[in-house]
Structure formats: structure tokens, C-alpha cells
Amino acid sequence: MLVPVETAVAPRKTPTPPSPQGKATNTYCELLRPEKYAEWDRLVERSIHGTVFHYSWWLRATTHDFQILVVRDRDFRILGGIPLPRKHRRFLTLYHAPTLTPYLGPIFDLSDTHNNYDRLYAMRSRGELLARTIPRFDSLRYTAGASAPDLQGFLWAGFQVHLGYTFRFSATTSLDEIASAMSRTHAQKLSKANKLQLTVRRETDIDKLITLNEMIFARQNRKPPYSSDFVRHLWAESETRNRARLYIAYTAAGETAAALFTVNDPRTTFQIISGVNTAKPDIPGGNLVLWTAIQDAIREGRDFDFEGSSLRGVEVFYRRWGAAAVPVWRIEKSGSLQGTVVQAILQRRATAKYKLTEKIAD
């Protein structure tokens, strides 16, 4: 569960944060016009904080209404920015992450910095300027991933930052190291998958995944929080750009056993949606498709991010792979009394879901 780190008291608002010498930084914020989004995508490519979820094409695929706020220098170079996917609910303006977008938040270009002092100053001064320039909202709520920048500037601007964890394998970890670090439970399931002659193929038929994913929710008497058309569209947009993989596990008889949909940027592979054949609970297809995706990521020089959950059952499944627990950060702020109510409702729902899974785990 994400826990609060700090709530900063916001200092008096200023148009531009001062430099250490007391001079203006000559930076300013701008809401990009859509025809400038290619410039933003180039920032995502070169920023160490950028993820596949920051690209303008991903934002277009997952939401109908978004803006991108950037900070520029006097030479008009983009130094950083933050996507602002926007939802409207009964006169409320909500900057919340779109569906199936686990990580979002600010990113910065640090290529013009030369030491730790310069890097921290760049992230904190530009971060505070961004945070104070975000257009009016009732509620803002994103989770910045493991590659997130320093967020002190957002704290200075009155935002809250909450701690959570994901599980990640570094691209520098060998497959032998991963295999030796996983739990006996997972190793036995992979061995069983081999004995049962399960096979995994990379395919493009996303409907196979959709069917298996719906089985998981049906077992819980729930519906997926996204439509089939949404998943198809997201797959098409990602796969067209060579940013997606679809893994399907088959039994020796040719029946589908499990499926996994991953997306990637040049640095990291993320799992997005999975599914299993709940009519065959003893077949470890879910373990096999995930192990195949991990192997592909490491061989291709990328980290693998499980998007770890604090929910018991989910957390233990990821932890058994032996990956490192890495901090992630939820950034949030209420911009109005109504927004405070929205934040309280979201927190109450998260707490209720957590308690429910605690009971199930017990």
C-alpha cells in the first residue's frame, strides 16, 4: 500500500523559481499544441525518466482529452514536462492516469547537467515551476515509476508524495541469476510446464488474450475495468510501433492456457494485461508466458517491470520471481474542496480493496 512520505507547506507562489545566485532561470512553461507533440516525444526518448506511457501516441490511445505542459529555456528547448490527461466528472476536472497507464508524471532532460548539484537543481527548480503552472484542477493523481525524477519541487508546490513498490529485474541481471533467485514454487511450476509440454508463441490475435482475461474477472464475479475495443485499440497502436508483445501459452493438445500483453520503451518492458484459462487451474501457463517475457526483455537489454502490487496474493506471486523491490511514487494534490472529497473516496476504495484481499489471503 502506498504510504505518505511528506506533505510540504507550499511557499509563496512566484512566476519563476530563483537560481542559487538569486537570478531568474529564464525558463517558462507552455501548453504544447498538438503539432508540437513530436518535440515532446523526442524528450521522452532522451530523458532517463521517460517511459512508453509518456509518449503522445500512448496518451491518444488511452484518453480522449489530454494536454502536455512543458518547461522551456530562452532558446526554446524543452527541458522537461508533464502529461495532463483530463477527465471531467460532474463539473470536476481530474488529472488522473488513463486506463492501463500505471506510470506517469514529470520527466526532465538532464543532458545539460554535469554533476549531482546541477541535476538536483534542474529537477527541483523546473519541477516546482511545472507544478505551479498546471492549469486549474480539482484532483491530480499519478504514480511515477521506478525511473521517476526527484520530486522535491512538487513538494515545495504543495503536492503530496506517497511511497509504493514495484518489482523489477535489471537489464544487467543474467538469466542464470534470475533462475537461481526465483522461489522453489515458481521453479517447480516452470518445470511442470516443461513436463506438460506447454509451448509459448508470440502472436497478434489479441482476442485470445481478451477471452482469457475476461475469465479471470468472471471468476471474481466482476467485469474488466476496460472494454474489449479499448484493449484492441491499445494493442493496435502499440504493436504498430513495435512497442508491444503478445505471448500465448498452449497445452500439448493445442488449447490456450494463458496470455500476456507487454509494452516496452527502449529501456524497460512492462506487463499490461494477462489472462489464464480458469477451466484449467492446474496448468501453469501464466508462469510460462511471464518467464518467456522476462527472458526476452533481458536478452534485448531492457529492464522488466512487474508493476508490483501491494495486494496480497498479487504481491506474493511477483515477489516469488526474486526481483528487487523498487520504490515508486504517487503524486497527488486536491485543487478544491470537491477534489479533496474525490481523493478521500479513492483512498477509501483502495483501503477496502486492500482489506478484502487481506481476508482472502488469510
> Which sequence spans correspond to the domains of the chain?
3-164+327-361, 172-301
With contact defined as beta carbons under 8 Å apart, do 200 and 289 qualify? yes
d(CA 91, CA 138) in angstroms, rounded, equals 9
* Cα torsion 211, 214, 218, 220: sign: positive
Nearest CA to 275 out of 235, 333, 239 is that of: 235
Cβ neighbors of 276 (< 8 A, separation 6 or more) are 212, 215, 216, 257, 258, 259, 285, 286
Place of cell 480493496: 353
Instruction: Please report, in tens digits, the pLDDT of each residue of the chain (362 residues total).
Output: 454 444 333 333 334 444 433 334 589 999 999 999 999 999 999 999 999 999 999 999 999 999 999 999 999 999 999 999 998 877 899 999 999 999 999 999 999 899 999 999 999 999 999 999 999 999 999 999 999 999 999 999 999 999 999 999 999 999 999 999 999 999 999 999 999 999 999 999 999 999 999 999 999 888 999 999 999 999 999 999 999 999 999 999 999 999 999 999 999 999 999 999 999 989 999 999 999 999 999 999 999 999 877 777 788 899 999 999 999 999 999 988 887 887 787 777 665 554 444 443 33
Tally: H helices and E strands in the chain? 11, 15
Rounded distance, CA 291 to CA 249, Å? 11
Fold match between 3-164+327-361 and 172-301? yes
Please report which residue ranges of the chain form alpha helices under DSSP H: 37-46, 56-62, 116-133, 152-156, 175-181, 184-195, 206-219, 228-240, 285-299, 314-319, 337-361
- The pTM (predicted TM-score) of the whole model is 0.88
State whether the Cα torsion 197-201-207-209 is positive or negative. Answer: positive
Confirm if 289 and 250 have CB atoms less than 8 A apart.
no
To which residue does cell 478544491 refer? 336
May I ask the CATH architecture of the domain 172-301?
3-Layer(aba) Sandwich (3.40)
- CB-based contacts of 64: which residues, under 8 Å, 6+ apart? none
Q: What is the CATH number of domain 3-164+327-361?
A: 3.40.630.30
Would you call 21 helix, strand, or coil by DSSP?
coil
First CA to last CA across the chain, in angstroms? 17
Q: Which residues are paired to 77 by β-bridges?
A: none
* Residues contacting 111, CB < 8 A, separation 6+: 46
Q: 1 near 164, Cβ under 8 Å?
A: yes
Are the beta carbons of 82 and 124 closer than 8 angstroms?
no
Provide the 8-state DSSP code for 309. -
Q: What is the pLDDT of residue 340?
A: 84
The pLDDT, as a whole number, for residue 10 is 36
Residue of 185, 177, 126 whose CA lies nearest to 152: 126
Phi (first) and psi of residue 296, to 5 degrees = -60, -45
